[in-house]
Amino acid sequence: MAKQYDAQTAADVIVRDLSSEIVNKVVLTTGVSPGGLGAFFNQYIASAKPALLILAGRNPAKIQEAAESLVEEHSDVQVRTLRLDLESLKQIREAADSVNGWSDVPQIDVLVNNASTMACEYTKTEDGFERQFATNHLGPFLFTNLIMAKILASESPRIVNVSSNGHRLSQIRWPDIGFSDGQLYNKWRAYGQSKTANILHAVALAMKLGKKGLTAVSLHPGVIHTNLARHLDLNTDSAGLDVIDRELGNAEGWRERVNFKTPACGVATHVVAAFDPALKEHNGDHLQDSHIADPYVDTIKPYARDKVEADRLWKLSEELVGQSFAY
């Protein structure tokens, strides 16, 4: 990577540096809602004149609000909205059919799998899956593969999976993905499993489709005050998180304070991951603080980067969504 960025680098700085890589690109971002990282990311890259910004999300009213705010600040940008409910395999297929049916959008240059839920209480989706694993991994896995033809139609296709350093809280629980129907459920461990899956998904995409020109990476955006954590009690929930970190021997269990980022610094890593051309030589890697994560100093667990684990997860995901994807 030509420039050295860090945790304090803001998105507008990186957008200026990478403007030639953003211009005329078609970018689809999931999980877009006002006050969220997806909305902030699109607000910043809009200044570099992408060809089209596709905002996808579960709530049509919130997506429309984000779209109107974007156009209000950048009147020359083309914006399209897409309803995408990642908790429903049926609706995911409907959304993918819509994207594939857009004759005026022949390719998706960048897909940013940004949607996420965090540390929610135990529930199952309509398809019978633990909610965090379904929303954070199975849904994006299916949607990504269903629109893959349009992604690969790009001259420089890229997929970005927004993960978290929360992946440190759990590897994939192979015999018990669903936490024994909730009997063994811990919301932080379930979040960790889903975030590990995000990283492994990027590793698998790089392995399977790197030969076709696809670059796939994952990232940890940092800790940012957004609507993602609006349901959490910072006192009780943080204490529960600290207990797990200490049980696992994670350094985060002994930190004296959390270093929060502004939204501008939080989505800076999104911009690098989505557009830095140097990442083509680092296919499947994980980013943090706007650079490739260093396993000696950054939180990136070996189990989240393991190619065998990535392939196992791909096969399991195919089984759970009831569809195979051979490339």
Q: Where are the beta strands (DSSP E) in the chain?
A: 26-29, 52-57, 79-83, 110-113, 158-162, 215-220, 223-224, 260-261, 286-288, 291-292
Chain-centroid distance of CA 295 in Å reads 20
Q: Is 5 a catalytic residue?
A: no
Which residue of the set 5, 44, 185, 191 is catalytic?
Answer: 191
Q: What is d(CA 324, CA 327) in angstroms, rounded to the nearest whole number?
A: 10
Instruction: Name residues whose C-beta falls within 8 Å of residue 319's C-beta, 6 or more positions apart in sequence.
Output: none
**What are 220's strand-pairing partners?**
288
SS3 of 49, please? coil
218 strand-pairing partners:
161, 286
Rounded to the nearest 5 degrees, what angle is found at the Cα of 66, between the Cα atoms of 161 and 154?
A: 45
The Cβ of residue 311 has, within 10 Å, a number of other Cβ atoms equal to 15
Token match 């991951």: residue? Answer: 273
DSSP states along 186-225? -HHHHHHHHHHHHHHHHHHHHHHHGGGT-EEEEEE--EE-
Give me the active site residues, please: 191
